[in-house]
Structure 1
Amino acid sequence: MLNYGIGTWVNRRAQRMREDAAIAFRDQRIGYNELDERILRLADALRTRGVQHGDRVAYLGNNHPSFVEALFATTMLGAIFVPLNTRLAAPEIEFAVDNSGAETLIFQNTLGELARAGTWSTAATRRICVGETDLPGVEDYDAVVASGAAEYRDNAVSLDDAALILYTSGTTGYPKGAVLTHGNLTWNTFNALVDYGLGSGEVVLLISPMFHVASLGMGALPILLQGGTVILREKFDPGDVLHTIESEGVTMLSGVPTTYQMIEEHPDWAATDLSSLRHLTCGGSTMPQRMLEAYEKRGLHFSCGYGMTETSPGATAMPPHMSIEKMGSSGLKQFFTDVKVVDEDGGMLPPGEVGEILVSGPNVIHEYWLRPEATAEAIVDGWLHTGDLGYLDEDGYLFVVDRLKDMIISGGENIYSAEVEGAIMQIPEVSAVALIGVPDAKWGEVPLAVATLDPGATITPADVIARLQGRLAKYKIPREVVFVDELPRTASGKIRKAELRKAYAS
């Protein structure tokens, strides 16, 4: 045995559960045997086209069986999978592809224009399209799969080899590529199996895109390792979620508070049979008390958690039976992970005292792609400095209270202020800007920009928003821009964002 990576998981599971459904998509039921054959063929086809150990393969698409096939085929070869966020603008896509050095791109035909605009000037000249396209120089995905041999090759892949590069929003204006190893993803999967009690008969409904690590790491990978069924949805629709839970016997659902709120507010909520649900996981932000109680009344308990891309993504998880008693907490450290809270000097703080949250364990990344300075800053003596503030209570439950990095979480999407502020500062008329998160009933919080203008400038708030279109993902663009004469600053010149949050909180 040479291959210890995640790429072999479906192949090993197919030997045990050949005809059992691995994936359900639209009206398709794809058994483990069929999925394994397609992965083997794609892996061989990529190999014959020049993809080798350590090469990067980018994927631009929504939840689709080809995402799963490309992930396992790429990692089976020891190559590195680079899933791209489909909500990004073309320049952001281009940066990720350029930075990763991907020479192979697999994309869905529905995103053909974004693929062309974002990657045609990059080194990703080996292009494969899922679905029909009239773009020149592009191979058909199904034809590529059919061209490969359905033969397992025991490639040498270690747990320390890179499996994924996931790009996180940049705190300094440029995204960072978090390198997740096969070991990171394996140990994160073990954490999920232990802390959530996942078995072989699970049916998970993925309503969040797999290019986000939470959907992939806490949903798809654990379920496929255990031989369960992954139901893929290309977009979130609360009515469809309720119907699918009842008709398919869904046992696991992952989401963010916004999605759970929209499900609970749907007209079919009260009449839908939810008795099959055993696992509800939630991340992104704290679940409001009203929502916890609404689900508790239906006999459903949440396992809210804390984590990030750099932890693959789990760091803590809430035992479901404690969700009300420890309301506001993100739970206990995961089984194979350690969490501590430290002061500015790195000293461990006692229960109840607020400091920076640090995470350590085999699920924590070792590096950012080609960013040694960022790696050295974030990972010190084996501990990931999250930049988040929180405290541990007497029972070891983590409470996250603030964010050092000024990150805004809107509908489960991370928005880093520095990245958006940098884009706004490229508008000539703007002299200074601060981006803050303000409360929003639907999305939890949304970005708001407070800016000052150069003397005599005639630009309007609508002009600022319009100039960001196509340069930033839509969810990063401020919902509102406010012009002020002067931004509040400290003696050293730093903008007092706390004052702005207080002023615009309502």
Structure 2
Amino acid sequence: MHRHGIGAWPAKRRLASPEKTALVHGDQATMTYREFADGTDRVASALRRLGVGRGDSVAYFGENSPDLLQVMFGAARLGAVFVPVNTRLAPAEIDHILADCHARLLIHDPGPAAGFAAAAGVPHLTTGAGTADRPGLARLPGTPGVPAEVGSDDPAAVIYTSGTTGRAKGAVLTHGNLTWVALNCVVDYDVVSTDVALMISPLFHVASLGMGALPVILKGATLVLEKGFEPGRALAQIERHGVTMLSGVPTTYQLMADHPDWATTNLSTLAKLTCGGSAVPTRILRAYEARGLSFSQGYGMTETSPGATSLPPAMTLAKQGSVGLPHFFTEVRVVDADGAPAPPGTVGEIQIAGPNVFAGYLGEAGATAEAFTADGWFRSGDLGYLDADGYLFIAGRLKDMIISGGENVYPAEVELLLGEIDGISGAAVIGVPDERWGEVPWAIVTLRPGADLDTAAVRARLAGKLARYKLPARVVIVDELPRTASGKVRKADLRQHYGDQAR
């Protein structure tokens, strides 16, 4: 039996739903599944003419666009490996990725990426028409070729970790990984062909790609591609296109709820909201519930393609703070320091198994071996616990855990309560050195526009809800928290900055 992995998806969609709208991009431009598949065939042929073949890495640097998706599927048709590059990285970080994946080619939006490619000695090609002297991707000729035969264990993409604790590593995701994460989403989020999904997060991030674009294309639904997130425009696009699906992080949803157009925007088509990154504060839950909207919250990471768990909307309040149950085709367990299953309610390391778990780190045999247990479970490095019903609660990263006077402080627990304080829009709890206690928790917070928060009162508001050793020793108000492209707070940056202040 011939197996063509995810590279066969566009052609299969062309047969099944040729005239269905696949993509909406720009203000009104649309692309049918026939046009999308034809473009993917042309891109695959162009890549082949440029010398790309099985196992070669094709890096992509650019904003959300049909080109990005066609390059991904086109590379997959050849058995090549798609490497999306975070456009927010520094030049040195980009150079590291291009060298680490041995990029055969860099495709990029017009702009400074040509310099990155030249510095790294990588051939490059712009999206769009390009120039007469240097034609871009859109001008390259191509005719459909025979797709490569690939198996489910063959690499389809390399997604680089955010690198918040050191140099970024490339997580190798196979055709099987990407297929199974899409199937998990189809099952657990009930994705149907009539859905319209608004893509406001960058597709170079694994959540947007694996849990946003892929399940939508698998089902033959419609993707509305946005080059970036602006809350007023997002609200307008929901109303304009009858959007049914939206995914984001808590900050995304908060900015939309705080926008002046929130109350007047028609949100009646919205049915499926997914949120990751951290727990949704109660205030935001209530704001969306007032509009008849509920969230599916979840947990995962690059190495799990990325979904591991999902909390059904019906359980949002009953299991508030939980990230839910394992996805349908995924298993999750929590173990103690000896590797034995932790009793319900006991914090331990979260471990994950299933066909969506990655193949390993590119060129990092040692790191790959350390990432898995002897019986094949992925060691997430995250702390959490399962309740008596099997719902997962996150306590924080092993590296983020604060040990104050011999007591463990889990930042996620404190951050959840901080997020419920009126006026606080974002919070990160870190450990800073302390002569007496070793470490003490500090809270770094951002405020909603117009809010006036008495930092001295924050501890009083948390008193009685947390043990005294968990209360922030200091509350610092900042204009903005440093975040990765996926919206996660860069706590390593905060620890370095405020740790130096405390010494």
TM-score (norm 1): 0.80
Query: Where does residue 266 of structure 1 map in the other structure?
Result: 259
Query: Where does residue 386 of structure 1 map in the other structure?
Result: 380
**Is residue 95–residue 116 contact of structure 2 (8 Å, CA) maintained in 1?**
yes
**Is residue 171–residue 405 contact of structure 1 (8 Å, CA) maintained in 2?**
no
Distance 2:363 2:219 in 1: 34
Distance 2:441 2:178 in 1: 33
User: Which of the residues 381, 390, 394 maps onto 1:396?
Assistant: 390
Asked if residue 191 in structure 1 is aligned to residue 184 in structure 2, the reply is yes
Distance 1:474 1:335 in 2: 25
Equivalent residues in 2 for 1:92-491 (5 A)? 92-109=93-110, 112-113=111-112, 115-125=113-123, 127-131=124-128, 138-144=134-140, 147-149=141-143, 151-170=144-163, 173-380=166-373, 381-406=375-400, 438-441=444-447, 478=493, 481-482=497-498, 487=503
Distance 2:206 2:442 in 1: 25
**Is residue 129–residue 138 contact of structure 2 (8 Å, CA) maintained in 1?**
no
Shift of 1:240: 1.0
Distance 2:69 2:241 in 1: 20
Distance 1:343 1:439 in 2: 32
Query: Where does residue 40 of structure 1 map in the other structure?
Result: 41
Distance 1:230 1:301 in 2: 21
Distance 1:67 1:55 in 2: 17
Shift of 1:131: 3.5
**Is residue 323–residue 394 contact of structure 2 (8 Å, CA) maintained in 1?**
yes
- The higher-RCO structure (CA 8 Å, 6+ apart) is 1
Shift of 1:341: 0.3
Query: Where does residue 11 of structure 1 map in the other structure?
Result: 11
Distance 1:62 1:192 in 2: 24
Instruction: Give the partner amino acid of 1:17.
Output: S
Distance 2:488 2:222 in 1: 32
Can you list the C-alpha shifts for 1:153-199, whole angstroms capped at 9, x where unaligned?
13211110000101103365211100000000101011000000111
**Is residue 76–residue 82 contact of structure 2 (8 Å, CA) maintained in 1?**
yes
Change in Cα spacing, 1:183 to 1:442, as seen in structure 2 (3 Å) is farther
Distance 1:63 1:23 in 2: 11
Cα RMSD (Å): 2.9
**Is residue 357–residue 386 contact of structure 1 (8 Å, CA) maintained in 2?**
yes
Distance 2:36 2:18 in 1: 9
Distance 1:485 1:160 in 2: 48
Shift of 1:10: 1.2
Query: Where does residue 462 of structure 2 map in the other structure?
Result: none
Distance 2:489 2:384 in 1: 26
Distance 2:199 2:493 in 1: 28
Is the partner of 1:330 in helix, strand or coil? strand
Is the partner of 1:306 in helix, strand or coil? strand
TM-score (norm 2): 0.81
Change in Cα spacing, 1:77 to 1:228, as seen in structure 2 (3 Å) is same
Shift of 1:406: 3.2
Can you list the C-alpha shifts for 1:414-473, whole angstroms capped at 9, x where unaligned?
x9x9xxxxxxxxxxxxxxxx9988333479xxxxxxxxxxxxxxxxxxxxxxxx9xxxx9
Distance 1:137 1:98 in 2: 27
Distance 1:207 1:172 in 2: 26
**Is residue 366–residue 379 contact of structure 1 (8 Å, CA) maintained in 2?**
no
Distance 2:356 2:115 in 1: 35
**Is residue 178–residue 369 contact of structure 1 (8 Å, CA) maintained in 2?**
yes
Shift of 1:152: 4.8
Distance 1:47 1:359 in 2: 37
Distance 1:317 1:57 in 2: 32
Distance 1:209 1:87 in 2: 10
**Is residue 249–residue 275 contact of structure 2 (8 Å, CA) maintained in 1?**
yes
Can you list the C-alpha shifts for 1:90-120, whole angstroms capped at 9, x where unaligned?
00000000000002010001xx21x134221
**Is residue 129–residue 139 contact of structure 2 (8 Å, CA) maintained in 1?**
no
Shift of 1:481: 4.0
**Is residue 22–residue 228 contact of structure 1 (8 Å, CA) maintained in 2?**
yes
Change in Cα spacing, 1:435 to 1:308, as seen in structure 2 (3 Å) is farther
Can you list the C-alpha shifts for 1:376-400, whole angstroms capped at 9, x where unaligned?
1111222111111000001111000
Distance 2:97 2:360 in 1: 16
Can you list the C-alpha shifts for 1:216-243, whole angstroms capped at 9, x where unaligned?
1111100011001100000101111111
Query: Where does residue 71 of structure 1 map in the other structure?
Result: 72
Is the partner of 2:202 in helix, strand or coil? coil
**Is residue 103–residue 123 contact of structure 1 (8 Å, CA) maintained in 2?**
no
Gaps of 5+ in 1: 418-433, 444-467, 488-506
Shift of 1:336: 0.3
Is the partner of 1:81 in helix, strand or coil? strand
Is the partner of 2:73 in helix, strand or coil? helix
Gaps of 5+ in 2: 402-410, 416-427, 431-439, 450-481
Instruction: Give the partner amino acid of 2:119.
Output: S
State the number of aligned residues.
433
Instruction: Give the partner amino acid of 2:90.
Output: A
**Is residue 59–residue 85 contact of structure 2 (8 Å, CA) maintained in 1?**
yes
